[in-house]
Amino acid sequence: MSNIEQELLSYLPKVENENIQKLVSAMEYSLMAGGKRVRPMLVLEFAKLCGGSEEAAMPFACAIEMIHTYSLIHDDLPCMDNDDLRRGKPTNHKVYGEATALLAGNGLLTLAFETALSAKAIELNGYEKCAQAAKVLALYAGADGMLGGQMIDLESEGKSVSVDHLKEMDNKKTGALMIAACKLGCISAGATKEQLDAACSYADNIGLAFQIIDDILDITSSTETLGKPVGSDDENEKSTYAALLGIEECKRLSAELTENAVNALDIFENDTEKLRNFAYYLLNREN
């Protein structure tokens, strides 16, 4: 079990009431269901890149993964995308029921702020950095961030929309938490404005590339490889980059965005190899 998995487990509530334990179990089910841990990795890597420590940044890394996981639980609900599989496993509501899944998502959202403002986080980062981190989490997960992107997505179903419309939606729905992750690492390390701007540029570019590749995989991959149903975009009548631009143009654009992300790392003096390799991994991923 990796450090991030161990830390995530340590922040889950310890309860005796069996009814509340069902809620905690539902939270743990999705939080520990695997996944790439993209956002916590970005927190930790940018903290180290800017001269900070993994230990200090870890509470912020856990917090953003909790928010990401809550968004997936809610995204899969019948009132949203109505998906049966996530990461190759039954979605939360298929195991625990819709009401418990809803509460599990809410539980992870609130636990994220408890984690970012925990005694451990304050001891390692100080009050001011923890307050900044909490503000970043709230801003990028809120109505002008991830939630706003999800709302645009819902309102776009069954409609023909432009590429610019998709970019605005994805900059919020997917890109917002990527940017937040990189910012959290910078905050923990006390980064300069130049470093913060470069981190945001990296996140902005890989975030959009990530979504474009997702659109390609929804057409070209299989349920077994992807770990979730394929063809759901077409089934939900969603406009996608693949549908609007074609797969070949999507591949070209995602490669261009990846190079932009890699080039943004040039200002850093410390070793950026892992972040560069990660950008290329996202470009070439199969799930």
Spatial separation of the C-alpha atoms in residues 215 and 27, rounded to whole Å: 28
Domain 3-284 falls in which CATH fold? Farnesyl Diphosphate Synthase (1.10.600)
Compute the half-sphere exposure of residue 173: CA atoms within 13 Å on the CB side of its CA. Answer: 20
Q: Which residues contact 58 (CB under 8 A, 6 or more apart)?
A: 3, 4, 7, 44
Stated pTM of the model: 0.91
Which of 207, 203, 199, 208 has the alpha carbon at shortest distance from 270?
Answer: 199
pLDDT in the model for residue 228: 53
Domain ranges of the chain: 3-284
pLDDT category at 36 given cuts 50, 70, 90 is confident
Q: What angle do CA 93, 96, 101 make, to 5 degrees?
A: 50
H helices present in 1-53, as ranges: 3-11, 18-31, 38-49
- Report the chain's mean pLDDT, rounded to a whole number: 92
pLDDT above 90 (res 114): yes
Residue 215 contacts residue 242 (beta carbons within 8 Å) = yes
pLDDT at 146 > cutoff 60: yes
Provide the pLDDT for residue 239: 77
**Beta bridge partners of residue 85, listed in sequence order:** 90
In three state form, how does the secondary structure of 129-189 look?
A: HHHHHHHHHHHHHCCCCHHHHHHHHHHHCCCCCCHHHHHHHHHHHCHHHHHHHHHHHHHHH
Helices 163-173 & 175-189 angle (0-180, nearest 10): 40
